[in-house]
Amino acid sequence: MENQSDSSVTKNSWVTYDGYPEDLEGPPEITRNLIRLISSSETTNTDLAFQMLKGLKHPVIKQIPADAPVEKKRVWLKLVYDQLTGHPSKSWYNVDLSHLQLTYLPPSIGNLLSTASGSIYLDLSHNLLEDLPFEFLFYNDKEAFNQLYSISLAHNRLKKFPVVLQEQINLEKLDLSSNKLSVLPDQLKGLKKVRWLSLNFNQLTELPYTIKDIWFLRNLAVKNNLLQFLPESIGNLDSLVELDVSNNRIKVLPESLGKLRFLQKINLYINQIEYWPTDLSALVQLQEIKLSFNRIRKLHLKDLPMLQRILLVSNRLEVLEIEPENLSQLEKIHLHNNQLKNLPVSIGSLKKLKELRVYNNQLESIPESIGNLERLQYLSLNKNRLTALPDSIQNLKRLKQLDLQDNLFSEQEINRIKKLLPYTLIHFSNKKRSKKEKGQKVI
């Protein structure tokens, strides 16, 4: 379904259709003609036709704001048309009702949406909604409306989770970001088919234990909230591929993270984490770790065979340990703004490493093994305490840029480095050199 939505539906598009059937049955003649008129491009007087149609007092048409954009009026009218004629024209609908300053939805909207013959992608973002009416999910007062595939309620005024969404048994994508949610319901089994869930920019202090009941969840985004921990049950989300809990107040990570065997990306930026779990051998698909702006002092990297990027900027890192045997895909390491005094010799065994940034630390030397990084292209060592680089750097034939500003190199050492790397762009300045020479770029 996800691939279908990506290829068939573009963001901010309206309900699309290929015209209306000629053999209309059901609506009065005037209704039929006005709907055809307002939904075509043959008239420049759309607003007048719209006002005339509102005069017919259809229970939904009369709820449409008079100053709504023409395209969005057509969205509503298309739904009315299909309800009246019984001729839905698409197997999916992309219904964009965003940016309309809606404070509530008319209960009868469920009647309209229920006429769709396939999946519905409903965008209600950027409105003033505080809740969804219970009737939103029903038509004919009895039958559950369950064609909703995706709904966005982002940028509204929701203070509590819309309970009616628990009845949407086919819902796969749910966006509740940028609201005022402070708590989620204890029971989430009604969302078991949801694959993409965004709760970003709310006021959540915790995720319920029952988060595990969203069995098919692949993408979970809860950044910019007030989370202080993650429940152990998060390790039961067997299908999880991406997890973003950045910009929260998390101090400890649950050991159960190590059970997420399909996890590919984890974003933990801007938290208060002091410890990274060492037993992560089950994370055989993990490709990216974002741990910047935390409080980690020691990092032991091992058993992550698909890891390509680790970003651990602005922590309190003093010790880095690397077991390279199962880190064969690692290409990018960012460790700047930490307290490292040395790099492990084993770093030279990361054969695919292309980018290493360790500036603004307390490095006094670089291991000879650095010369084994034959694919290295960018190396940042500025703002350290280096007085020399090993001869092995001459083996870095693919090195494009080397940053060495603000170290303690002598003039003799600077000239030696130039000769060892004649084709590398080297940024030099020295704490002991004159202001005139500072910032010099040497090729």
Which residues on neighbouring strands pair with residue 197, listed in sequence order?
A: 174, 220
CA gap 168, 376 in Å, rounded: 50
Please report whether residue 422 resides in a domain.
yes
**pLDDT in the model for residue 17:** 30
In a domain, 323, yes or no: yes
8-state DSSP, 345: G
pLDDT at 111: 65
pTM: 0.79
398 falls within a domain? yes
386: CATH? 3.80.10.10
The answer for 140, left when phi > 0, alpha when psi is -120 to 50, beta otherwise, is: left
Quote the DSSP letter at residue 8: H
Asked whether residue 254 is domain-assigned, the answer is: no
Q: How far is Cα 262 from Cα 268, in angstroms, rounded to an integer?
A: 17
- Per-residue confidence in pLDDT tens, the chain, 443 aa: 334 333 332 233 223 233 333 332 334 445 555 555 555 554 444 555 565 555 555 555 556 666 777 666 666 666 665 555 554 445 567 778 888 888 988 766 766 676 666 788 889 999 999 998 877 766 555 555 677 899 999 999 999 999 888 878 889 999 999 999 999 998 888 898 999 999 999 999 999 999 999 999 999 999 999 999 999 999 999 999 999 999 999 999 999 999 999 999 999 999 999 999 878 878 999 999 999 999 999 999 999 999 999 999 999 999 999 999 999 999 999 999 999 999 999 999 999 999 999 999 999 999 999 999 999 999 999 999 999 999 999 999 999 999 999 999 999 999 999 999 999 999 998 554 444 444 433 33
1: in domain: no
Encode 398-423: b = buried (16+ Cβ within 10 Å), e = exposed.
Answer: ebeebbbbbbebeeebbeebeebbee
Tell me which amino acid residue 42 is: E
Query: Which structural domain range is residue 341 located in?
Result: 312-443
* Domain count for the chain: 1
pLDDT at 33: 54
- Residue 97 CB partners (closer than 8 Å, separation 6+): 72, 75, 76, 122, 123, 124, 127
**One-letter identity of residue 267:** N
Chain-centroid distance of CA 135 in Å reads 31
Q: What pLDDT shows up at residue 280?
A: 80
Residue 266 backbone phi and psi in degrees, to 5? -135, 130
Within-domain flag for 42: no
Q: At how many degrees (to 10) do helices 70-85 and 46-54 cross?
A: 50
pLDDT at residue 26, as a whole number: 35
Structural domain includes residue 373: yes
Residue 367 covered by a domain: yes
For residue 61, the model assigns a pLDDT of 58
